[in-house]
Amino acid sequence: MAMSVDLPPTRPASAARRPGFLSRLFAEYGQEIVVLAAIVVLFIVVTMVNPRFISANNLTTIFAGNAYIAVAAIGMSMVIVTGNIDVSVGALIGVLATISGTLAVAGYPVWVAWFFPVLVGMAIMGVQGVLVAYARIPSIVVTLGAMSILRGGLISVTGGTWISGLPSEFLLAQQRWFGVPSPIVMMVVLTVLAFLWMRYSAFGRSLYAVGGNPEAALATGIPIERRIVAVFVIHGAFAGLATILFATQLQVIQSTVPPNLELTVITASVIGGVSILGGSGTVIGSTLATILFAAIGSALIFVNVSAYWLRAVIGLLILATVLADMMRRRGKA
């Protein structure tokens, strides 16, 4: 590769001292800003074509209906930041939703039906974390195997039947808190808390070190194995919280695995700026990306594009975002 010998242009000392606030913001949160800008542009353009796009009804569908994906993507982002991946999360959410619905129909108190699956999710992900950290099986292999086990197990136990007759107080996602649909409140609160925790706590910072430079992390005294197990357990908890929102949306729960859910969650994390190589990214980005996908899906309907082309358009946008991100990173380097 050719080496550049151009010297940077000389600048007055005062300006050279420190880059401005905006450029620092962009350097650190470039991808998040790009996704946010895409959302804003999309909303403006689609609303001009069809003003009903920003009706309260449709906004609720976009934000509340997809909040569970954003919540699951928080945990996934943490896993990816440590340099691992989880393809079993879709199957896990399917299993947990079935457990949750079965408990609710069997007459257990609703808080048991909501939170017992969270514990199950933490346990299942904890086992996977141990296999990754201590048995040193690559996370793609462990979670691929776990996906088969969970998916096969779910269908052979339930036969893919629908769970109906859910008690109305179980339907948390249909509630409103402070006048706002509860999934939106949960999505925003969890995203902000997770972001602050990852950015300012010693534990959160150490996750970036584990993913960015494991050798340096080890030299600094970070127990890498324990961190990886912990991050999988936390990811399991977020999958459980996502399940609460997913399972309580409708009057029925279909006891199968939502198709391609794991890919949607991974894609949201990555498009939101979490580097698949580990070591960088924030959960604000993953939540914004979830909203962007949901908005695109809805927008296509409002501008009368056939639903059959939905995935192609989303795929094209994912590809464009990834390519733009790679160009941006290369430009910076």
Partner 1 sequence: MNLKSLIRHETFLALLLVAVLIVLSFQSDRFFTVSNLLNQGRLMTETGLIAIAMTFVIATGGIDLSVGSILGLVAILTGVFWHNVGMPLGLAAVAAIAVGTFAGFVNGLIITRFRVPPLIATLATLALYRGLAEGISQARSVRGYPDWFYVLGQGEVLGVPTQLWILVAAAIIASVILAYTRWGRTVYAIGSNEVASRFSGLSVEKTKLALYTASGFAAAVAAVIFVSRVSTTRSDMGTGIELDAITAVVLGGTSIFGGRGTILGTVIGLCLIQALKNGLSLAGVKGDGTIMLIGAVLILAILASNLFERSGTR
Give the binding site for partner 1 (CB under 8 A). 85, 87, 131, 135-138, 140-142, 144-156, 259, 263, 266-267, 270, 276-277, 306, 308-316, 318-319, 322-323, 326-327, 330
Rounded to a whole number of angstroms, the minimum distance from the CB of residue 225 to partner 1 is: 15
Residue 188: CB minimum distance to partner 1, A: 27
CB 72 within 8 A of CB 238: yes
Phi, psi of 208 (to 5 degrees): -65, -35
Based on DSSP, count helices (H) and strands (E) in the chain, helices before strands: 14, 4
Q: Please report how close the Cβ of residue 147 comes to partner 1 at its closest, in angstroms.
A: 7
Nearer to partner 1, 249 or 321 (CB): 321
Residue 253 β-bridge partners: 163
**Nearest approach, Cβ of 205 to partner 1 (angstroms)?**
24
Identify each DSSP E strand in 114-210 by its residue range: 162-163, 176-177, 180-181
Cβ proximity to partner 1, 151 vs 235, nearer residue: 151
Grouping H, G, I as helix, E, B as strand and the rest as coil, residue 146 is helix
Residues 6+ apart with CB under 8 A from 140: 85, 87
What's the closest the beta carbon of residue 286 comes to partner 1, in angstroms? 14
Q: In the complex with partner 1, which residue's Cβ is closer, 35 or 245?
A: 35
Locate the DSSP E strands across the chain: 162-163, 176-177, 180-181, 253-254
Contact 39, 288 (CB under 8 A): yes
Q: Nearer to partner 1 by C-beta: 135 or 202? A: 135
Task: Compare residues 30 and 204 and give the one whose CB is closer to partner 1.
Answer: 30
Q: Which is nearer to partner 1, 65 or 145 (CB)?
A: 145
Q: How far is the CB of 245 from partner 1 (least distance, A)?
A: 23
290: exposed, middle or buried (Cβ count in 10 Å: 0-12, 13-18, 19+): buried
Q: For residues 62 and 291, is the Cβ–Cβ distance under 8 A? A: yes
